[in-house]
Amino acid sequence: MCEDTDTTRTLNHGFLRDHNYVTEADIISTVEFNHTGELLATGDKGGRVVIFQREPECKTEPYSQGEYNVYSTFQSHEPEFDYLKSLEIEEKINKIRWLPQQNAAHFLLSTNDKTIKLWKVSERDKRPEGYNLKDEEGRIKDLSTVTSLQVPVLKPMDLMVEVSPRRVFANAHTYHVNSISVNSDHETYMSADDLRINLWHLGITDRSFNIVDIKPVNMEDLTEVITAAEFHPHHCNLLVYSSSKGTLRLCDMREAALCDKHSKLFEEPEDPSNRSFFSEIISSVSDVKFSHSGRYLLTRDYLTAKVWDLNMENKPLEIYQVHDYLRSKLCSLYENDCIFDKFECAWNGSDSVIMTGAYNNFFRMFDRNTKRDVTLEASRESSKPRAVLKPRRVCQGGKRRKDDISVDSLDFTKKILHTAWHPTENIIAIAATNNLYIFQDKFN
Amino acid sequence: MEYKVEAHRIMSISLGKIYNSRVQRGGIKLHKNLLVSLVLRSARQVYLRDYYGGICLSAQQAREWCEGEYMDSEQDKLVPGSKESMPESDGQSEVAVDKQEPSNVVESHAALDVESEASGEQDHAEDGVLDSGCSELKTPEENPEASPTFEVPNGVTTISSNCISGPPPSNPEQATETPNDCQTDGSESVEENSLERTVPQTCTNRKRSADDSELTDSLPKRTKVMSPPLISKNDEKRAETEEMDTSNVSSLITIFGSSFSGLLSSEDGAQPDSEADQDSDSGQICCDQMLKNLNPWSTAIVAF
């Protein structure tokens, strides 16, 4: 159940669309902080990427602790058409991953169902002035008017953020790409679709290596697909991928060129008492994240979030019930397709708290050490700037407190699928359909 | 009884989802379709639970035996067989529904190829039966169990090959035929089916988003058309549906648990008793057979 935590959550900044109706293209489909937390990137169904930058803290205003403002917006992917298969390729951004910063520019990878692109985000705040052959507007000068030579100098100008595509990694996936992950070697990255995982070099676009292939010889024998994949944060040879059967496989690229054979298999035996028609669906892992330490894995399936220890394969270390009250409603959720929602999960910087989203614009945080958890809501009404978020509670019958929400009045169209946690501070980004909420902790 | 209704309902919903996935933007989503097919299989297994255990083994063996065999040579045999069995399925409205569904599964995967075969077939008053509970599968059909079970795998592989060969571009053309047909059927089903309140029965257009509307649209056509895959399933399903009538309620309860708690209360007694249509009956039996042995993935994945 939810309890008050020591810290209060205040709304730092909300990027809320003005209109009440939701344009499908505006639906946020991925959220990702960069490695320092200075930049926050969101991708939407319309193929656009919006980057927010945290303003430096201003000492004169102690409460404006670095708010996030829009830094750049660009169109990453466009809708395409596969003429061979007569299929439309959606421009929805499935994942964004930042590269570790190596120079003044920032690089990020964005992917839709088929194509991954590397974007360079750079600033320009100076421009040369004083050309000899052209004037300030760029028109060619009449040579007869040039009487002396001058050296162009760099003068400050208004900050301009330039985004340019540096690489396009295409034509490597037959199935829909669901994950990308940058390796800790900062040179390679992987992209995973339903049946295969490819390894790329960031500088080479016309070639990729297939490292995992679970496509059966006969597609009729297909029993599981890859749902998420990630590289280990420190060991460049280790990667993990999750399957629709609820299993995790840790692969070591040193073992073989093709990592079909896993090094470790993390699987929890199914509880026969909970068996139902939808057992397979709710056991499908929708997201997997390594902890920052690299010691643990966080997975999310439909009803639970689980923490696994890399050293223990037979069962998870911790299981957190996100919204177990939905277990009796699986049939209805199957009918309205909600049971296929893919919730993401996130670690905090110290790996002590995990966070994941739920319905009715609720999101939940679980403290692994104190075993306390909280349910919060991301909504316009409850989120005025500087307002403290009130913990919410879902009651399942029985004694109902004031402000409790009953299970039947949950709005299943308002789902929080994508969340992100700042790498070091307690700042979280919550994507609620087409709105982005950024909350930050304020210790009392 | 009620659990069969629920299982049947879930099967129809699943088929609708698979069907709809074809027209969704972005192409067929493998993961979702895989999950839907697993639910479909589970529902089917529960639905056919009573005699599934007994026949299961033989069916499995039969299927393995028939793997890879092409059905072409057998289609002729099957056609007469199915025609014979059709008259036997009287008063099996619910059975008809089941038959239709599986064929729908197969054909929805088969890039509309099979559907196109079925298009043009009208006069299926039992569209709505799709949604009705299939609890009255009592009358054992006379079809020998052995031969039908052997034939189903062939049907499966045949459908697969159909899917492979079916050129996608041809689908739209064929699909256009169906809406007209659907309209008639849809209205009929609306009148007759009262069970599926949650599923809109007025299917008049293939483009409608309602899962079952599209489902019922194509269903009647399938049962009418004596396409080889259907026929093969006909025989097999007939044999298997014979023993479905008595369900082990307690075991079903344990299986379903709370998943159906909300549904059962609203579903009891809502058994549409649409008059038995022989064709739809055979189609339903066919569907049952299909569900029992066919991996719904075969065509979808192959097409994918």
The nearest CA of chain B is from the CA of A367 a distance in Å of: 30
Nearest to B301 among A86, A113, A219 (CB): A219
Residue A424 resides in a domain: yes
Torsion angle (degrees, nearest 10) of CA A251, A255, A258, A259:
-20
DSSP code at position B110: T
Residue A389 resides in a domain: yes
Identify the band that residue B101 occupies on the pLDDT scale cut at 50, 70 and 90.
very low
The nearest CA of chain B is from the CA of A277 a distance in Å of: 6
Asked if A431 and A416 touch (Cβ cutoff 8 Å), the reply is yes
Interface test with A, best of B10, B34, B253 (most A CBs within 10 A): B34
- Please check whether residue A114 touches B, CB under 8 A: no
Distance (Å, rounded) from C-alpha B201 to C-alpha A344? 36
> Is pLDDT of A422 > 60?
yes
Residues in B lying within 8 Å of A, measured between beta carbons: 6-7, 10, 13, 17, 25-27, 29-32, 34-35, 38-39, 42-43, 46, 160, 168-169, 198, 255-263, 295, 297-298, 301-302, 304
High-pLDDT (> 70) share of chain A, %: 92
Nearest to A332 among B31, B262, B295 (CB): B262
Distance (Å, rounded) from C-alpha A330 to C-alpha A277? 9
The nearest CA of chain A is from the CA of B279 a distance in Å of: 29
Residue A287 resides in a domain: no
Token pair recorded at residue B49: 């639970």
pLDDT at A389: 83
Output B80 or A264, whichever has higher pLDDT. Answer: A264
Identify the band that residue B110 occupies on the pLDDT scale cut at 50, 70 and 90.
very low
Arithmetic mean of pLDDT over chain B: 49
Nearest to A340 among B35, B258, B301 (CB): B35
Residues 6+ apart with CB under 8 A from B243: B50, B51, B54, B55, B140
Nearest to A281 among B6, B35, B301 (CB): B35
A336 CB neighbours in chain B (<8 A) are none
pLDDT at A12: 52
Residue A18 resides in a domain: no
CA distances from A362 to A8, A294, A357, A389, B280 (A): 16, 28, 6, 11, 47
> Is pLDDT of B115 > 50?
no
Q: Are B31 and A331 in contact (CB < 8 Å)? A: no
- Please check whether residue A244 touches B, CB under 8 A: yes
Domain of A328?
318-443
In our burial notation (b when 16+ CB lie closer than 10 A, e otherwise), range A325-346 reads bbbbbbbbbbbeebbbbbbbbb
pLDDT at A416: 96
Model confidence pLDDT, tens digit, residues A70-115: 999 999 999 999 888 888 999 999 999 999 999 999 999 999 999 9
pLDDT at A142: 84
Q: Are B295 and A337 in contact (CB < 8 Å)? A: no
Distance (Å, rounded) from C-alpha B11 to C-alpha B29? 19
Identify the band that residue B63 occupies on the pLDDT scale cut at 50, 70 and 90.
low
Q: Are A335 and B169 in contact (CB < 8 Å)? A: no
> Is pLDDT of A41 > 70?
yes
Angle between helices B93-109 and B278-293 (to 10 degrees): 60
Residue where the block lists tokens 């649209």: B217
Residue A66 resides in a domain: no
- Comparing A36-45, A75-84, B21-30, the range with the smallest average pLDDT is B21-30
B168 CB neighbours in chain A (<8 A) are 85-86
Interface test with B, best of A83, A112, A219, A326 (most B CBs within 10 A): A219
Identify the band that residue A146 occupies on the pLDDT scale cut at 50, 70 and 90.
confident
Residues 6+ apart with CB under 8 A from A216: A222, A223
Residues 6+ apart with CB under 8 A from A254: A237
The nearest CA of chain B is from the CA of A384 a distance in Å of: 37
* Backbone angles phi and psi of A282, in degrees to 5: -75, -10
> Is pLDDT of B4 > 60?
yes
Residue A403 resides in a domain: yes
Residues 6+ apart with CB under 8 A from B275: B93, B125
Model confidence pLDDT, tens digit, residues A336-381: 999 999 999 999 999 999 999 999 999 999 999 999 999 999 988 7
> Is pLDDT of A8 > 70?
no
Residues 6+ apart with CB under 8 A from B39: A277, A278, A280, A281, A334, B10, B14
Q: Are B10 and A219 in contact (CB < 8 Å)? A: no
**Residue among A150, A153, A181, A163 at smallest CA distance from A106:** A163
Task: Provide the β-strand partners of residue A119.
Answer: A108, A165
Token pair recorded at residue A167: 């690489």
B199 Rama class: left (phi>0) / alpha (psi -120 to 50) / beta: beta
The nearest CA of chain B is from the CA of A319 a distance in Å of: 22
Asked if A414 and A433 touch (Cβ cutoff 8 Å), the reply is yes
- For residue A50, which amino acid is it? V
Residue where the block lists tokens 């304020």: A442
Distance (Å, rounded) from C-alpha A237 to C-alpha A16? 41
CB atoms within 10 A of CB A256: 11
Output A9 or B77, whichever has higher pLDDT. Answer: A9
pLDDT at A395: 84
pLDDT at B194: 40
Identify the band that residue B224 occupies on the pLDDT scale cut at 50, 70 and 90.
very low
Strands, E, within A283-425: which ranges?
287-290, 296-300, 304-309, 318-321, 345-347, 353-357, 362-367, 373-377, 394-395, 405-406, 418-421
What is the average pLDDT across A107-135?
A: 93
pLDDT at B22: 84
SS3 per residue for A169-222: ECCCCCCCCCEEEECCCCCEEEEECCCEEEEEECCEEEEEEEEEECCCCCHHHC
Q: For this complex, say whether ipTM is above 0.95.
A: no
A238: buried, middle or exposed (CB in 10 Å: 19+, 13-18, 0-12)?
Answer: buried
pLDDT at A345: 97
Residue A411 resides in a domain: yes
> Is pLDDT of B204 > 70?
no
pLDDT at B109: 42
Listed by number, the residues of chain A in 269-328 with a beta carbon closer than 8 Å to a beta carbon of chain B are: 274-278, 280-281, 284, 327-328
Residue A205 resides in a domain: no
The nearest CA of chain B is from the CA of A138 a distance in Å of: 45
Token pair recorded at residue B50: 């009573």
Token pair recorded at residue B256: 């379903």
Residues 6+ apart with CB under 8 A from A343: A286, A287, A300, A302, A322, A356, A357, A358, A415, A416, A417
Residues 6+ apart with CB under 8 A from A379: A361, A414, A432
- Please check whether residue A194 touches B, CB under 8 A: yes
A112 CB neighbours in chain B (<8 A) are none
Nearest to B34 among A85, A225, A334 (CB): A225
The enclosing H or E element of A71 equals: strand A68-75
Asked if B104 and B19 touch (Cβ cutoff 8 Å), the reply is yes
Q: Are A278 and B13 in contact (CB < 8 Å)? A: no
What is the average pLDDT across A407-423?
A: 94
pLDDT at A10: 55
Q: Are B39 and A277 in contact (CB < 8 Å)? A: yes
Distance of CA A151 to the CA centre of its chain: 47
pLDDT at A61: 60
Asked if B133 and B77 touch (Cβ cutoff 8 Å), the reply is no
Asked if B99 and B288 touch (Cβ cutoff 8 Å), the reply is yes
Identify the band that residue A135 occupies on the pLDDT scale cut at 50, 70 and 90.
confident
A224 CB neighbours in chain B (<8 A) are 34
Number of domains making up chain A: 1
Torsion angle (degrees, nearest 10) of CA A134, A140, A144, A150:
10
